[in-house]
Amino acid sequence: MKFFVPLLAGVEAASFEEIAARVNAGNHGWTAVVPTKFSNVEEVKAHLGTILKGEKGFVAQEKEVAEAPNGVDVPAEFDVRTAFPDCAEVSGNIRDQSSCGSCWAFGSTEAFNDRHCIATGSKVKFSVEDTTANCGFLQCFSMGCNGGQPGKAWDWFKNKGVVTGGDYFDIGAGDTCAPYSLAPCAHHVPATEKYPVCPSDEYPTPSLSSCTESAYGKSYSADKIKATDSYSLNGIQAIQADIVQYGSATAAFTVYDDFPTYKSGVYTATSSKQLGGHAIKMLGWGTENGVDYWLIANSWNEAWGDHGTFKIKRGTNECGIEGQVSAGRAGSSVQV
């Protein structure tokens, strides 16, 4: 089962060339380019897979934070990477989910990773492989590369924990338990040495029951790191106050067929064709040319968008970006 909203039957999808030309011809506040990562709209769907609020199968988190605590100063502009510079190499790391609908695992694991670094000073990378493989249907109402729920992943971090694990290019380093095993790839031709051609079908969900790095000195069970709390964030003030205090949060939104062409500026949807739900990491916010925005880290590698990031309009729940935000607390020490 794949969690996305299909294009209407009989309606031919516009090409990215057509979409980019249309966006750039209008006064939309953002610039579009033909993405090098995808050759057509259908290929984007393999990189989505978040179950959105209101869809069949969605399960809400038990705890919700709807009010900003007193005494938290929310600045007009904020960026987790500069606000917590000692953890910038963690929060600024743009990952690549490859051809797998594991965005729900990336957006959640990355945000927990940032918060753990901010709370503890540890710069170790967390394993999205573990979340994708083991935060399954029974624990998280999720299905690996076939989609999932970032909020339930936060609950899993609290109840079960996640092991350490770097990116695909960290395989063999031996300094974490389970790096991401799915090779980065590109659908668009010509491919490069770093980003070879993606498989014709998306990668199957990986399995993981022990550390894959033989040189790593801990067992899988001993390597687990737990969150101390898990909750959803309701309302802009609550979202901002939580990020100011603890670091990056996780959000989900609806992807329209113009989104993959984003290059710069503040994104607003110019299309009505939905491709599916996507989860990402919220890094902060600001204002550009009079338009308030959220600053977001995507998981489509650094070659996409603005070096792997994008800005999306803030304050109007653009594409649902403010309606499904999840987070949690990181402990002051590794818990095993």
Which tens digits make up the pLDDT trace of 11-54? Answer: 456 899 999 999 999 999 999 999 988 888 988 998 999 999 99
pLDDT tens for 111-135 read: 999 999 999 999 999 999 999 999 9
Catalytic residue among 100, 103, 145, 177: 103
Domain 16-328 has CATH 3.40.50.150: no
Q: Counting beta carbons within 10 angstroms of the beta carbon of residue 237, is it exposed (0 to 12), middle (13 to 18) or buried (19 or more)?
A: middle
Known catalytic residue at 298: yes
Q: What's the pLDDT tens digit per position in 282-305?
A: 999 999 999 999 999 999 999 899
Among 117, 298, 301, 319, the active-site one is 298
Map tokens 């600053």 to a residue. Answer: 295
3-state SS, one letter per residue, for 159-226: HCCECECCCHHHCCCCCCCCCCCCCCCECCCCCCCCCCECCCCCCCCCCCCCCCCCCCCCCCHHHCEC
User: Which residue in the list 93, 177, 278, 319 is annotated as catalytic?
Assistant: 278
b/e per residue 60-88 (b: at least 16 CB within 10 A): ebeeebeebeeeeeeeeebbbbebbeebb
Active site residue 47: no
Q: What's the predicted TM-score (pTM) here?
A: 0.93
Catalytic residue at 103?
Answer: yes
